[in-house]
Amino acid sequence: MAKAHRLDCENQAADCRFIIQSENETEAIALAKRHMAEVHGQQLTDDELREQHLQIL
């Protein structure tokens, strides 16, 4: 079974229910980066997102 990369933004901001889930890590990171920038005004690097925000299911 393919691994899924998941970011559950509820972990970061209690009022945000945004969830990303993708089998493609590159895509998951790109979507997460855009969400963090547009919604939360946070400019995160790929490594920060991968290490601090993404879960592998």
Cβ-in-10-Å burial (0-12, 13-18, 19+) of 53 comes to buried
Q: Is 6 in the site for Zn ion (CB under 5 A)?
A: no
Determine which residue in the list 16, 30, 44, 48 makes contact with Zn ion, applying CB under 5 A: 16
CB of 12 to Zn ion, least distance (A): 6
Tell me the site size for Zn ion, rule CB under 5 A.
4
Q: Is 44 in the site for Zn ion (CB under 5 A)?
A: no
CB 33 within 8 A of CB 22: no
In angstroms, what CA-CA distances link 48 with 1, 2, 5, 42? 26, 23, 14, 11
Q: Is 30 in the site for Zn ion (CB under 5 A)?
A: no
Contacts with Zn ion, residue ranges (CB under 5 A)? 9, 16, 18, 39
